[in-house]
Structure 1
Amino acid sequence: MSQSTSIPKKQERIRDHGYDNYMEIHKKVIKTLKFQDMILSQPNCMVSIHRLGALAGRQGFKKLEPGQFILKFPHVFEIYEHPVQRILYCRLTRKAHLQIQQENDALMAQLTDAVTRLRKLVMLSNTGRLRLEHVRIARKDFGLPDDFEFSVVLKHPQYFRLFDAKETRNKYIEIVDKDPDLSVCAIEREREREYRERGADAEDIRFSFIVNFPPGFKTGKYYKIAVWKWQRLPYWSPYEDISGYDMRSLEAQKRMEKRAVATIHELLSLTVEKKITLERIAHFRAAMDLPNKLKHFLLQHQGIFYISTRGNHGKLHTVFLREAYRKGELIEPNDLYLARRRLVELIMLSPRKARMDGEMTNYRRDRLRPEKGGVQDDYIDGHCERFGDTDNIRQRGKGKEDSDSDMDCDGDSYYTDEDDDCDDSLGVEDSHVTE
């Protein structure tokens, strides 16, 4: 038993297949995003298959893995023959470009909320400052743009101050003024809502958390009593300054352990998808007074958090907030989450449907094409069309309303029936690369 709480300290991790299946799909999303970044970084946003293999080799992929991977997702990647060089090229499909544009629009639309989330994130630290590099690594989890240092921090000097530490030469984000209205945790708002609905029957939830144990988790009589006592244990708020308290007593240690649970709960509540990797939580460990052994600490509270080890051979740990999910989906989705899920839909679409869409589109164009032999000039121009900035993508989406096909080319797809039997095991799990 733990010395400072009555909950057993060593707990066996119980798998929840709903979250693990979510991460199995997310592994494909991570690889897809890597290949998208490779393609978008090239001139005209297209790259030859030979060069794509060389770029993927630098990211840790095997020799034949890039070609096998992009063939599995024809709704995201399009392979075609260059009309001049007569070699195979790869580019993103129209639907993939529209998904990127939708995600960028959702990111810009919620920029005001992102400023609030960053303010609350910095306020969670015990010194009122966070290292800029740690925030940059987790920027996508908190819905921050890539240039958040300028568009969020420097653009709002009334909220943030950016400075260099003389002793470490690291940049830090410091909160200028702590707003008391932002010092309310998400769990506190949930308790208030529960109290308004239940009234006097909710007196016991003053310091409690929402607990949903995974299927198959054994809760004996004494464990239930331990959880009952822990739920009624008072604790300090994550936004409260505790520098003046004496931490030597047993009561203070109990409150600090429960405060750490509340801090991680609030940290997950600030994320867009209500999940974040354990490694990124560890970056804020010193600033937020979190325990050293985070994994073992979170396993004590499997009814509040879930740790999935799917990805990077079990070395990557993703922490979910259990109360925010139901049947593998976010209960209260936001626009940015829905835009990212659109990429998941493109990945999960059947390759046969992409081939059928291409055949139907080619049949329609053949009927509308004038009786003339050879290749059309506009067909050649379509191959060389630039996919540059977001303005070009927006104009392309408005100018060509062709929802039946992902491909602008007029030729046949290089995806055949034999590719359906392509080996699903890629040989290498997702490599965890620090952003």
Structure 2
Amino acid sequence: MRVFVSYGANIFKRRTQTQHKISSSLTLCMINSTREMSQSTAIPKKLQRVRDHGYDNYMEVEKKMRKVLKFQDLILTQLNQTLPISRLDTLARRIGFKQLEAGAFILKFPHVFEVYEHPVQRILFCRLTRKAVLQIEQEREALIAQIPDAVTRLRKLLMMSNTGRLRLEHVRIARSAFGLPDDFEYSVVLRYPQYFRLFDAKETRNKYIELVERERDRNLTVCAIEKAREREYRLKGIDAEDIRFSFIINFPPGFKIGKYFRIAMWKWQRLPYWSPYEDVSGYDLRSIEAQKRMEKRAVATIHELLSLTVEKKITLERIAHFRMAMNLPKKLKDFLLQHQGIFYVSTRGNHGKLHTVFLREAYRKGELIEPNDLYLARRKLAELVLLSPRKAKVDRELVGIRRSREMDEMGQIRRGYVEKVYEDFKGGNSLGPEGDAEDDLSSDIGSDVDSDIGDEDDDFEDNESVQRTS
């Protein structure tokens, strides 16, 4: 009897466990179904990345300019700003060039680098061309002229931080993007003590830049997107409720926009958020609504960060330096790919190791819509880099040296040949066939030299065309 009772209890227990599993699985199915339905009205976390060749081609030119700038700095640090060719390969390795790569590189850009023979030492030297020197001077003058604007950009940058301070090293790394001079610590920070203060943190022993303004200027707390909204509202007459919290969206060509994604974007555009210059330390950020507002605030912060740059672009790695100070998400790349209509992330320029973030609304067909003097001065270097090497005025002395060497070699061959012919002439041999052979030999040498030069130029132009079309 006891055995029967225990057997029945086991059967009842198994049935209850089976019913519990079925009910739990149904509950999970319902949760999953509700999540799938909710995703149709929210921006997907992972979107397919669509390339925009206009920005990628821009970065291909930047890749060449980055190497050219390294060489320029190397030459400018030398005595008399000239570099002997004998030391070129050794010094170029320090800036990342491989063996025997530096010489071929400078010959590709004769509008930037000039190779000449020293009139006394009779050795080859490398220096910057007149156009390159003028471009450097123009960029330096533009950088000095816009220092007041750089002060305003630095003030706004500090206002966006949580504590009103940023690490000096982080600002120094990104100084070129924000138009700050190399000595900005003295020419900007210490020169304007009414705005900035430098101090050493006792805990981390790092230098910080702090904003010392007691009352913030309200004009500086106006974001660039707010000015763009007002401009769009006045020009196009869009409904004020639809444009109140919206961003300018320009999706790349080929980006697929579905029905539910369009609905999600419409809801996201109307979602209110806190300004990047607003202090959010007093808000309760634990609710779902607050988290959504903070996510959109992060978009506005990166948008404002890009608007403060000179070229409306900055590398993703430099944005990451300000992540903790500005409440930005951890996975910045995935976060930016969710908003491909506002930002574009390009991986060109450094074998995929460098990520450059562009503000899409600031560019049109690969060019800045509202250029400034510093941007125009930097693009002058890009124009010199893109000029064809065939249009450069090559030093005639170098060409003469090369031709004289070829003539010496040919002269030695001809002298040996004449001596041989003279000996044969004594023996009674005719000179006719040998004369034809001499003409063939000289023509072959000339054709080999010409063909080598032509092939080198053609390969360069082919690489240029491939990089421009890619």
- State the TM bucket, normalised to the shorter chain: 0.7 to 0.9
Could you tell me whether the CA contact under 8 Å between 1:73 and 1:347 is conserved in 2?
yes
- The equivalent of 2:419 in structure 1 is none
Equivalence for 2:226 = 188
2:340 to 271, 295, 302: 302
Please state if 1:80 is matched with 2:116.
yes
Query: Which residue identity is paired with 2:281?
Result: S
* Cα distance between partner residues in 2 of 1:73 and 1:319: 28
What are the equivalent positions in structure 2 for 1:103-252 lying under 5 Å apart? 103-177=139-213, 178-199=216-237, 201-252=239-290
In structure 1, list runs of 5 or more residues that go unmatched. 363-414, 430-435
Q: Does the residue aligned with 1:355 lie in a helix, a strand or coil?
A: coil
The answer to whether structure 1 residue 420 and structure 2 residue 466 are counterparts is: no
Q: 1:416 to 1:44 in 2, by over 3 A?
A: farther
Residue identity in the other structure for 1:339: A
Q: Do structure 1's residue 286 and structure 2's residue 324 form an aligned pair?
A: yes
| 1:123-180 deviation digits (Å, cap 9, x = unpaired) | 1111100000000000010000000000000000000111110111110001111222
1:199 to partner: Cα distance: 4.2
CA offset digits 1:23-73 (Å, max 9, x no partner)? 011100000000000000001000012222111111221111111111011
Tell me, what secondary structure is at the counterpart of 1:107?
Answer: helix
Distance 2:120 2:333 in 1: 55
Q: Which runs of 5+ in 2 are unaligned?
A: 1-35, 400-451
The answer to whether residue 390 in structure 2 is matched with residue 352 in structure 1 is: yes
Which letter maps to 1:252?
A
Contact 2:241 2:270 (8 Å CA) reproduced: no
Alpha-carbon offset, residue 263 of structure 1: 0.2
**Does the aligned pair in 1 maintain the 2:40–2:264 contact within 8 Å?**
no
SS at structure 1 position matched to 2:344: strand
Please report the TM-score for the alignment, with normalisation by the length of structure 2.
Answer: 0.76
Task: Tell me if structure 2 keeps the 8 A contact 1:195–1:202.
Answer: yes
Structure 2 CA distance, aligned partners of 1:78 and 1:416?
18
Whole-angstrom distance in 2 between the partners of 1:422 and 1:82:
30
> What is the TM-score when the length of structure 1 is the normalising length?
0.82
**In structure 2, distance between residues paired with 1:287 and 1:307:** 22
Whether the aligned pair in 2 keeps the contact of 1:75 and 1:93 (CA below 8 Å) is yes
Deviation at 1:189, TM superposition (A): 0.8
CA contact (8 A) 2:40 2:260 kept: no
Q: Secondary structure at the match of 1:90?
A: strand
Q: How many residues align?
A: 372
> Is the 1:14–1:216 contact (alpha carbons within 8 Å) kept by the matching residues of 2?
yes
Give the drift of 1:4: 13
Cα 1:5–1:287 change in 2 (3 A) is: farther
| Aligned counterpart, 1:339 | 377
Q: Is the 8 A contact 1:4 1:253 kept in 2?
A: no
Given residue 207 of structure 2, which amino acid in structure 1 is its aligned partner?
K
Aligned pairs for 1:355-434 (under 5 A) are 355=393, 417=454, 419-421=456-458
Distance in 2 between residues matched to 1:167 and 1:3, nearest whole Å: 44
The 3 A distance-change label for structure 1 pair 237 and 5 is: farther
How far residue 300 of structure 1 moved from its aligned partner, in angstroms, is: 0.1
Q: Which residue, out of 33, 38, 43, partners 1:7?
A: 43
Partner of 2:138: 102
1:252 Cα deviation from its structure 2 partner: 0.3
* AA in 1 matched with 2:112: V
Match in the other structure for 1:372: none
| 1-structure distance, mates of 2:380, 2:369 | 17
Q: Which is richer in helix?
A: 2
**Partner amino acid for 2:234?**
R
How many angstroms apart in 2 are the aligned matches of 1:326 and 1:53?
40
- 1: CA distance, partners of 2:290 / 2:64: 45
What's the secondary structure of 2:114's corresponding residue? strand
Paired letter, 1:318: T
- State the partner residue of 2:408: none
Distance 2:455 2:265 in 1: 55
Q: Secondary structure at the match of 1:14?
A: coil
Answer yes or no: is the 8 Å Cα contact 1:68–1:422 preserved in 2.
Answer: no
Matched, 1:320 2:358: yes
What is residue 52 of structure 1 aligned with on the other side? Answer: 88
Deviation at 1:419, TM superposition (A): 4.4
> Cα 1:293–1:42, aligned 2, differ >3 Å: closer, same or farther?
same
Aligned-pair identity in percent equals: 77
SS of the aligned residue for 2:261 comes to helix
Match for 2:42: what amino acid? Answer: S
Which of the two has higher C-alpha Rg?
A: 2
